[in-house]
Amino acid sequence: MTLSLYVPVASPVHRTPAGLKLGLLAALAVALFLVDGLAVVGGTLAAVLLLGLGAARLPWRSVLAQVRPVWPWLVLLFAFHLVVTDWHTGTVVVLRLLALVAAAAVVTATTRVTELVAVVEWLARPLTVFGVRPARIGLVIAMTLRFVPLVAERAQRIRDAQAARGAERFRFRSLVPLLVQVLRLADTLGEALDARGADAPVPVRRGRAGASTS
Amino acid sequence: MKSRDLAYIALFAAIIAALGLIPPVPVPGIPVPITAQTLGVMLAGSVLGARRGALAVLTFLAVVATGVPLLSGGRGGLAVFAGPSAGYLYGWTLAAFVIGVLTQLTWRRFNLAWAMVANLVGGVGVIYALGIPFTSVYGDVSLSAAATGALSFIPGDVVKAGIASVVAVGVHKAYPVIELPRRRPAAG
């Protein structure tokens, strides 16, 4: 199981800072809904594909794989518009969504997970006012990625134990022992974090040693 | 927030992810197979409570957004947040929060009935209340058309709310995680 959609290629698109790419993506999402012209929307889609497949040299499979889950929706939407409005509106709606989804796929495929986590931490900086500590967001994301295979493995163990006792299939009631097990694990992890100083108070930025705060 | 809370949040984000790995369960009589992922959202709210539950869902969505394909069916990346069904994903966070609030309100007399109320209101009501208008605006379709499209998923979600409630009551008995502010000890 590959745990990332990132496609490593040396390209100018890959080298563009992650924050800039995300900003442009957000701007595109807003701008695309302000225009209705078929040429503009279609042109945007072509430009996005040119950028992803041409400039970033992504294999078309990697873009297609991310766009594929949206297909049933697009077909439904187009069919709906054929019946209720007209094919022109339907085409614009579908192309607009395709352009946006493709653009998001290009950003995802050209940006490393660590870079995006760094952007998330940066975006969370204003939240320090409310007591949020951006560095902890990275920590929680790292713990999540570690917990996924662990939870899957514990679930398998419980399933095996039930099979050994003659249960034919997975019963949702066995989620209770599973949850209790992993909650205990999380408790242990929390204690381990505390032992390593994760619960230390927020470091206050001060001047050089000896300088007073006032 | 204590380190243990951070670990709980990461744990439930991982549980939502792990439930996405379970192959969809076909249910007789319902055309759409059940994917277990929203079950994880309901469990996050009803086991962890409002704040930690919502943060667990938010963490899961952040991990998906950074390009880890943990959404059921191996989906991930920013593209899923741009699709017409993205409103349901955004609804998950609020759903976990509402389920958590209702669970905490009824915590002292928590039982299967209260768990059902919390999971139906938060896990089904809130999610559709956000998802349907989102699809409607995004795809330029009428509200009623978007609602009709969503109808076939509701029975599956009600089943999931039932499962989440049974499991939530079981976990509360065995290993309660929600802590309420202490009541002042009664005199005598």
Residue spans of alpha helices (H) in chain A: 12-15, 18-32, 38-49, 60-67, 71-84, 87-110, 113-123, 134-164, 175-195
Mean pLDDT of chain B: 85
Establish if B45 touches chain A: CB-CB under 8 angstroms.
no
Q: Same domain for A129 and A168?
A: yes
* Tens-place pLDDT, residues B137-171: 877 888 888 888 778 788 888 989 999 999 999 99
Residue B68, judged by CB atoms within 10 A of its CB (0-12, 13-18, 19+), counts as buried
In this structure, the answer to whether residues A171 and A125 fall within a common structural domain is yes
Same domain for A125 and A107: no
Touching A: B residues 128-157, CB under 8 Å: 138-142, 145, 149
pLDDT at B83: 75
Query: Do A92 and A130 share a domain, yes or no?
Result: no
B16–chain A Cβ distance below 8 A for any pair? no
The candidate with the shortest Cα–Cα distance to A100, out of B4, B144, B157, B77, is: B77
Residue A125 and residue A104 in one domain: no
Any A CB within 8 A of B68 CB:
yes
pLDDT digits (tens, 9 = 90+) for B47-105: 999 999 999 999 999 888 877 777 876 677 777 787 777 888 899 999 999 999 999 99
Q: Which of A80, A111, A142 is the last residue of a domain?
A: A111
| Three-state helix/strand/coil letters over A36-77 | CCHHHHHHHHHHHHHHHHHHCCCCHHHHHHHHHHHHHHHHHH
- One digit per residue, the tens of pLDDT, for chain A of length 214 reads 345 678 888 898 999 998 899 888 888 877 887 888 889 999 999 999 999 999 989 998 888 877 776 777 788 778 888 888 888 888 988 898 888 888 888 888 898 878 888 888 888 888 777 777 888 888 888 888 888 888 888 888 888 888 888 876 667 778 899 999 999 999 999 999 888 877 666 555 555 544 444 4
Give how far A22 is from chain B: nearest CA, Å: 9
- For residues A66 and A25, state if they share a domain: yes
Q: Residues A29, A106: one domain? A: yes
The pLDDT score that the predictor gives to residue B32 is 47
Residues B77, A108: C-beta atoms closer than 8 Å = yes
Q: Find the residue in B nearest to A199 (Cα).
A: B3
More confidently predicted of B10 and A132: B10
**Residue A209 belongs to a domain:** no
Both tokens of residue A178? 């599973």
Q: Does A200 reside within a domain? A: no
Q: Cα A77 to the chain's mean position, in Å?
A: 25
- Using a CB–CB cutoff of 8 Å, tell me whether B81 touches chain A: yes
B174 touches chain A (CB under 8 A): yes
In a mutational test of the B interface, the residue from A144, A176, A184 whose CB has the highest number of chain B CBs within 10 Å is: A144
Residues A54 and A107 in one domain: yes
Among B2, B3, B16, the residue to mutate for chain A (most A Cβ within 10 A) = B3
Q: What is the pLDDT of residue B91?
A: 92
Q: Burial, A88: exposed, middle or buried (Cβ in 10 Å; 0-12, 13-18, 19+)?
A: exposed
Which of A73, A89, A184 shows the shortest C-beta gap to B83? Answer: A73
**Span between the terminal Cα atoms of chain B, in Å:** 34
The answer on A170 and A125 residing in a single domain is yes
A53–B contact, CB cutoff 8 A: no
- d(CA B126, CA B49) in angstroms, rounded, equals 16
Give φ, ψ of A16 to 5 degrees.
-60, 135
Final residue of a domain: which of A83, A111, A139?
A: A111
Query: For residue range B97-127, what is the model confidence (pLDDT) as tens digits?
Result: 999 999 999 988 899 999 999 999 999 999 9
**CA A5/CA A179 separation, integer angstroms:** 29
In a domain, A213, yes or no: no
Q: How many domains does chain A have?
A: 2
The predicted pLDDT at position B43 comes to 95
Asked if residue A131 belongs to a domain, the reply is yes
Distance to chain A for B186, nearest Cα, Å: 31
User: Is residue B34 pLDDT above 60, yes or no?
Assistant: no
Same domain as A145, residue A67: no
Q: Alpha-carbon Rg of chain A, whole angstroms?
A: 24
CB contact (8 A) between residue A144 and residue B13: yes
Residue A35 within a domain: yes
Residue of A nearest to B25 (CA): A170
Contacts of B7 (CB under 8 A, 6+ apart): A143, A186, A187, A189, A190, A193
Domain extent for A151? 121-195
* Residues of chain A contacting residue B142, judged by C-beta atoms under 8 Å apart: 84
| Higher per-residue confidence, B161 vs B1 | B161
Residues in chain B with CB shorter than 8 Å from the CB of A101 are 79, 82-83
Partner-chain contact A143 B145, CB within 8 Å: no
In a domain, A116, yes or no: no
Q: What are phi and psi of A17, to 5 degrees?
A: -55, 140
Res. B183: pLDDT tops 90: no
B31 pLDDT more than 50: no
| pTM strictly above 0.80 | no
Instruction: State the SS3 of chain B.
Output: CCHHHHHHHHHHHHHHHHHCCCCCECCCCCCCCECCHHHHHHHHHHHHCHHHHHHHHHHHHHHHHCCCCCECCCECCHHHHCCCCHHHHHHHHHHHHHHHHHHHHCHHHCCHHHHHHHHHHHHHHHHHHHHHHHHHHHHCCCHHHHHHHHHCCHHHHHHHHHHHHHHHHHHHHHCCCCCCCCCCCCCC
Q: Which residues pair with B71 in a beta bridge?
A: B75
- A191 lies in some domain: yes
Interchain contact A101–B (C-beta under 8 A): yes
Q: Is B3 on the interface with A (CB under 8 A)?
A: yes
Pair (A162, A101) in one structural domain: no
Report if residue A43 sits inside a domain. Answer: yes
Mean pLDDT of B169-175: 93
Identify the CA nearest to A119 among candidates A103, A144, A138, A97. A138
ipTM of this complex prediction, to 2 decimal places:
0.85
Instruction: Tell me: do A100 and A153 sit in the same domain.
Output: no
